[in-house]
Structure 1
Amino acid sequence: MTRYLTNTLFMLIGYARVSTLLQNSDLQQDALTQAGCEKIFTDKISGTVAERPALTKAKEVLRRGDTLVVWRLDRLGRSLKDLIEWMNYLEQEGIALISLQESIDTSTATGKLVFHIFASMAEFERNLIKERTMAGLAAARARGRKGGRPKKMSDEKRKLTVRLYKEKHHSVDEICQMMGITKPTLYSYLKEG
């Protein structure tokens, strides 16, 4: 669906993302097509990956007056910070955002308000979780418990691992296999001394 405003042509550009190759983007693509998107860009990549080629292409195609359409906000942003950065970019460029599942349309004043309320609520929730986690850790420490995973090896085995590495008679892979640890674990032991 193409929008017209004072004889100027505006496009609805869709963006879909599925997290793994096993997932199917048909649901999102069907919804974006039904919403009137003329072009749809799809990434098959985790949301935690910063580089998303299809999203970059969509960004290159978008022009002032166009609308970026997503199935759900989490398809666009990896985090609240990422979503807000996207919103700021789109606003500066004069591009609206529509999220189909949340019924958000930032081309309207109400849509902008709803987006910012959602973003604020998500940030508030994240801060509450962080505060509860910190309070729980402090309470555990007050009772003498330490946070984190228990140590996998005794201090003696750790020292042996470090000594094997420093003697340079074995490769890193051999040491890891002998001790039953991963390379990152070995390197963390080396940092500890």
Structure 2
Amino acid sequence: MKIGYIRVSTQEQNTIRQEILMERLGVDDLYIDRASGKNAQRPELQKMMEYVRKGDTVIVESISRFARNTRDLLELVERLTGKGVEFISQKEAIDTTTPTGKFMLTVFGAVAELEREYILQRQREGIAAAKGQGRYKGRKPIEPPGLDMVIRRWRAGELTAAEAMRKLDLSPSTFYRKAKRFAG
């Protein structure tokens, strides 16, 4: 089977371009993640890695859609190879069934990682410049309605921490950080 994997970084980004490519390539099954590629802990990627079996081919539009660093890329491809699954990156024309394809995979993986580092560096430089000009204030703090009341009830023992987090729709780290700063 031909298995397609698509990734975009955010919920707002469009997958249509990649979906059209997969349809043109005759992909039988498709997995789509809307998540950062900074690590391999993506739900659809994990499902796909579990699903594929010997003789399948995993097709991606480009290496950067599959992995953002060389280590993850090589580990994922090694897992696929161990299962007898071929990996093809359309943009870079990489086919891991050949020694040249394996070599090119490593080279392009390193280039994709370098590109990601350049993006992050430019982002940091842009933020620093904007801060210097007083135009960047950072992310607005999360202040859910009723925060003070829920924290008071939690401290009084009327709510468990889990109930308080659920009511406020906060992660544990955010909840405890806010509770620590809350003077009561």
Same fold, TM exceeding 0.5?
Answer: yes
Separation in 2 of the partners of 1:64 and 1:89?
A: 11
Counterpart-to-counterpart distance in 2, 1:16 and 1:57? 13
SS at match of 2:92: coil
Which residue, out of 152, 166, 172, partners 2:180? Answer: 172
The number of equivalent residue pairs is 125
Where do 5+ consecutive residues of structure 2 fail to align?
A: 122-130, 132-178
Post-superposition shift, 1:107?
A: 2.4
Pairing of 1:58-69 with structure 2 (within 5 A): 58-69=48-59
Quick check: 1:51 aligned with 2:59? no
Give the match for residue 135 of structure 2.
Answer: none
Aligned mate of 1:95, from 66, 69, 85: 85
Matched residues in 2 for 1:92 and 1:73: separation?
19
CA contact (8 A) 2:6 2:60 kept: yes
CA contact (8 A) 2:10 2:36 kept: yes
2:165 matched residue in structure 1: none
Cα separation, 1, equivalents of 2:109 and 2:61: 17
SS in 2 for 1:23: coil
Q: Which amino acid aligns with 1:30?
A: I
Aligned match of 1:36: 26
Residues 78-89 of structure 1 aligned to structure 2 (within 5 Å): 78-89=68-79
Deviations 1:48-98 (A, max 9, x none): 254211111111221111111011111111311100111211221111111
Of 60, 65, 72, 2:62 maps to 72
Q: Classify the secondary structure of the residue corresponding to 1:42.
A: strand
- 1:153 corresponding residue in structure 2: none
Residue 108 of structure 1 and its aligned partner are, at CA, apart by 3.1
Aligned CA distance change for structure 1 residues 80 and 116 (closer, same or farther; 3 Å): closer
Matched ranges for 1:15-30 at <5 A? 15-30=5-20
Unaligned runs of 5+ in 1: 1-10, 134-148, 150-170, 176-193
Q: Counterparts of 1:33 and 1:86 in 2: how far apart (Å)?
A: 23
Of structures 1 and 2, the one with the larger relative CO (CA 8 A, separation 6+) is 2
In angstroms, what is the RMSD of aligned CA positions? 2.8
AA paired with 2:93? S
Given the two structures, how large is their TM-score scaled by the length of structure 2? 0.58
Amino acid aligned to 2:47: K
Cα 1:50–1:61 shift into 2, 3 Å: closer
Aligned counterpart, 1:168? none
Residue 110 of structure 1 is matched in structure 2 by: 100
CA 1:109/1:76 → structure 2, altered by over 3 Å: closer, same or farther? same
Do 2:2 and 2:29's aligned partners in 1 also have CA atoms closer than 8 Å?
yes
Q: Could you list the structure 1 runs, at least 4 aligned residues long, displaced by more than 4 angstroms after superposition.
A: 120-123
Inter-CA distance 116–36: structure 2 relative to 1 (3 Å threshold): same
Segment drifting more, 39-48 vs 111-120: 111-120
